[in-house]
Amino acid sequence: MTNTTNPLLSPFNTAPFSNIKDEHFLPAIKQLIADTKEEINAITENEEAPSFENTIEALEQTGEQLNRVTAIFFNLNSAETNETIQKIAQEVSPLLSDFNNDLLLNEELFKRVKKVYDNRKSLSLSPEQKTLLDKQYKGFARNGANLSEEKKETLRKIDQELSKLKLTFGENVLAETNRYELHLTDEKDLSGLPDGAIEEAATTAKEKGKDGWVFTLAYPSYIPFMTYADNRELRKTLALAFGSKGFHGDELDNQENVLRIANLRHQRANLLGYDSHAHFVLEERMAETPEKVHDFLNELLEKAKPAAQKEFDELEAFAKETDGIDQLQKWDGAYYSEKLKQKLFDLDDEKLKPYFELKNVIDGVFTVANKLYGLSFEEVQDIDKYHPDVKTYRVTDTKGELVAIFYADFHPRAGKRNGAWMTVYRQQQIKNGENERPHISIVCNFTKPTASKPSLLTFNEVTTLFHEFGHALHGMLANTTYSGLSGTNVYWDFVELPSQVLENWCYEKETLELFAKHYKTGETIPMEYITKIKESATFLEGMKTLRQLSFGLLDMAWHGSDPSGIENVKGFEVKAFGSTKLYPDVPTNCMSTSFSHIFQGGYSAGYYSYKWAEVLDADAFSYFQEEGLFNKEVAQKFYTHILSQGGTEDPMELYVRFRGRKPDPEALLKRAGLLQNS
């Protein structure tokens, strides 16, 4: 296919979505892999002695178009997929895995990189150049460059199989999510549900050509049902369906995939000289070792467990007193938590939602970014989109200069996986003297507007939007020389700091008054609601913390030791959850078979990083609280030392420059109410 017919093979600024057809991807990616190999050959065939410029910098600049096209492809596979794209992904993933291995196992290339690395002390490199050199050298050494030919071949096979297994895992979870529906025709079964959820379910039923109401496993349908539906049996039905994704012993079962992924990761780590996959991963993290992660998780567990148990007992007593329920089950948790929250704080999402119209919340997060970092957002119609729902913005600074292009995709649809994420279509870099600005996207799954109401968010969805926007700011405000160190290209347990710190603003009066206005009357959210949001922020925090710790411990159980003896996925999981268990186990449910973060996404041996980053974010936010929520000086420091720096230096050094000291873990425990303020 020539450049004239394939838009992905011509240079482009913003992604040319409207011209891209599914069949363009495979030939384009094959061609761009070949082109990138040529660029690499030019480095290895260079007869001049290896230098930072002709080897390290040259290597950093290879494969730019390939990276851009694969970023477009894989985001579409998550946000707007179909069977064709999924088939292409199964073909493309091993090709990219092979290419990556060809690169990392290229002896001539490694020799040149090693030569520069060995001479590094005699070179006068900037901190960013030192980091790039270190990252490249480790990239080779940690991925088999020093292995024998035979072992390199084994590594290739493992990587190929892993890339396919991870895709299959994700496809199974999506197919399970899409194929289940709870179809109700009796209005009595809707008791307790908010109008918005009922209207949404009626729309879904209509789309599917059915009478009545259809509830699904997509979050905006599932969560309101579990939180408000009075019919306990129906909550149980839906919870059992949600919790058993990939665990039915049928063609979408993920048990074998989980075992195979865990075992292959372990074999890979052993091959490279590491005790486990976690040892391999954590070498390039702030946490450094599995021991430190276990200590960190267990220390929090020790603090959170008594509080969580007390909260659970109170919740169970409340359920018994309210409805005579003897034993609290997993399908009761959200329902009675909400009821208890309403009783204690006279506050519920349905009261708050009218104040959180999506359009206003977007304006709110933009205003926060403007007050902190001087950014302006203008919605524009001249940028290509992959779906009509997507919104596009030009982001500029106080001088009117372009900072970034920003895409936002807010609502669920059949071709979109659950959850929320940020992605990069073009990395920021300084090339040929020009600062190329980034193209950043966030994808969420918020309740759609209905015939009678605009999209109204729960408070939880408001914090999700702020979270993803925090990641987006990290990408948008990047200001580094090299794209591989730009924006969110940082240690994994540091990447959540900008996202989690921004969530804190949602709880503050100064922020809420900017955007929380009633969608009908325009009235600003009443002060009493703001007080209650603040008061209820630590409601059941012990249980929430325990839940997060349970996921981190499950992840470390899968990846921190040899999994070859594991025969039963469910049995293994039950054991891993032992120290964090509150609810009775549900034999037909299994979390591992749909734990996409660790078996499909990039969080394997890294789920702990959410809590790790919470320590950083609580400490960082306390600085803003001390100096003022929109204090320009503190914001400038955060921009200068964190947001603009990407992965150019050791994250702890960057943090200390911002804060003047290392983070204090007590800030998190205080904020969570797990440590009484002395």
In angstroms, the CA 556 to CA 291 distance is: 10
Q: Are 393 and 405 in contact (CB under 8 A)?
A: yes
What are the distances in angstroms from CA 389 to CA 13, 86, 449? Answer: 21, 21, 11
Burial of 192 (0-12, 13-18, 19+ CB in 10 A): middle
CA 455 to chain CA centroid, nearest Å: 23
The torsion angles phi and psi of 435, rounded to 5 degrees, stand at -85, 100
**Which of 353, 357, 365, 320 is closest to 339 using CA atoms?**
320
Structure tokens at 557: 């159980």
- The residues annotated as belonging to the active site are 468
Residues in the chain: 678
Classified as helix, coil or strand, 133 is helix
In angstroms, the CA 629 to CA 625 distance is: 6
H/E segment holding residue 183: strand 182-184
How many other β-carbons are positioned within 10 Å of the β-carbon of residue 528? 11
H/E segment holding residue 380: none
In angstroms, the CA 269 to CA 297 distance is: 23
Q: Are 474 and 498 in contact (CB under 8 A)?
A: yes
Q: Are 346 and 535 in contact (CB under 8 A)?
A: no
Q: Are 309 and 583 in contact (CB under 8 A)?
A: no
What are the distances in angstroms from CA 676 to CA 318, 341, 652, 668, 669? Answer: 25, 21, 27, 11, 8
| Residue 458 identity (one-letter amino acid) | T
Q: Are 215 and 182 in contact (CB under 8 A)?
A: yes
Evaluated on CA atoms 542, 548, 551, 555, the torsion sign reads: negative
Classified as helix, coil or strand, 439 is strand
How many other β-carbons are positioned within 10 Å of the β-carbon of residue 129? 20
